[in-house]
Amino acid sequence: MTQRERILSIGIGGLFVVLALNWGFNQYRSAIKYRQGRLNSLTKEAEDLQAKLLAGAEAERQLGEYKVRSLSSDPEVAKSSYQAWLLSTVGRLGIADAVVDPVGSGPVDDLYTQFAYRVSGKTNLTGVVDLVYAIQSRDQLHRIREINFAPMRQTLSQAAKKTEADEEMLSLVLMIDAIALNIAEATPAPPSDEPSWRITRSLDASRAAILNRNFFQPPNQAPQFEGAATIVAYRGKENELPLKFSDPENNRVNVSIEGDLPEWVRWDAESAKLVVTPPAKAEVSEENGDDSADNNADAIKEFEVRVIATDDGFPHRQTTQSLVVRTQDPPPPPAPPKATPGFDDATQTFLTALVQGGDDWTAWMNVRTRGTTLKLKIGDEFEIGSISGKVTGVTARRVTLEINGQSYELRPAGKLSDVLEGS
């Protein structure tokens, strides 16, 4: 064998060895891949079986819980006992004209029997919340399928008799479903009186969340203060200062005071008034000495009051108003009104004649309301009704009168009151 043939034979043999090694490696890799796939498949089957076991255990646990919460497996016992509980509940909650009627029942496959009840009556919104809470908190297999309530129509006489404390009456209808499992006990133990652990709120919290809203009217508005932000109180006397609030919906408004008040200020909650009796300056001076009188007078010039008004609408709305009560000396008493004459004689006094006696002239004034005639000469003073004056001159044509420092002329047949009106 030549050298060339030997090299070719070695090359061909090496190639076969490489091919054999590659085939063996592929066989090994395929076996590993198959084994890994099989292992994954078995693991998935094991996980599925485990999940089914857990689901079965959970279903068994859930079924056991349902069995405890179920109505009696005896249909008649279940129907009557649940109806009796509903009747006792509506009676305890004071639902007026309450009626509890079974409205149907029927088996569902071979698992359970479903019962339907209709509960109707009349109550206020608080009664609706209490009844729903009583049903939901009872740990049994039941549910409220439908609830309907609406304000009741009232006659005029009924509306007139309604007081502020009365809540609006509602007509209420509930549709309730209850279940009795076939595997349940024929005489199961009664459910606990404690609320179910499924209820996350207490009755008070449920009331607060629902009652503080109005389903039948627009949102409630806050009360509004009617008055000035600064109120004046006079020193040395009792001042009653009413704090008046109005409510847009005419709801009842409760007014209260926040913070401390001076000792001479009293809050009358019943009439919503501040009764302020500031001490007079003289009283302050006597208590603190003359030197401190001015300082104390300044100290009680004014004080601030925070007033809180809360209405009883749904939801309750509150208004906080800051007021300044300013104290000051009372104004001086008004001057007494001037007495006005009932009738003015000057309006019925006429110059009837100018008479000459020697060198002197005399003016004859006829006062018709008195039935007298005054004979006046120069220098004579007179007072007729609202006019008083003095005669300063008398001639054949006129008489000259001085009234309130001014000179007036009156001619025959002239009226005395006209001299002032024509001036």
**pLDDT tens digits for range 291-344:** 444 444 444 688 899 999 999 877 788 999 999 999 988 888 877 766 555 678
User: What is the distance of C-alpha 245 from the center of its chain?
Assistant: 12
Nearest-angstrom CA–CA distance, 89 and 104: 21
- Is the pTM here over 0.85, yes or no? no
Is 80 exceeded by the pLDDT of residue 421? no
Distance (Å, whole) CA 372 – CA 382: 14
Which of 282, 275, 268 minimizes the C-alpha distance to 236?
282
C-alpha–C-alpha distance, residues 407 and 422, integer Å:
12
Q: Write down the residue that tokens 């300013």 correspond to.
A: 326
For residue 294, the model assigns a pLDDT of 45
Place of tokens 């044509």: 397
* Among candidate residues 139, 132, 129, the one with its CA nearest the CA of residue 197: 139
Query: Per-residue pLDDT tens for 370-399?
Result: 888 888 898 899 888 888 899 899 888 888
Question: Could you read off the pLDDT of 337-371 as tens digits, one per residue?
Answer: 665 556 788 888 888 888 888 778 888 889 888 88
Token pair for residue 215? 């389903």
- As to burial, measured by CB atoms within 10 angstroms (0-12 exposed, 13-18 middle, 19+ buried), residue 338 is exposed
Q: Quick one: average pLDDT of 210-228?
A: 80
How confident is the model over 6-45, as pLDDT tens digits?
788 888 888 888 888 888 888 888 888 888 888 888 899 8
Distance of CA 84 to the CA centre of its chain: 40
Residue 102 is predicted with a pLDDT of 94
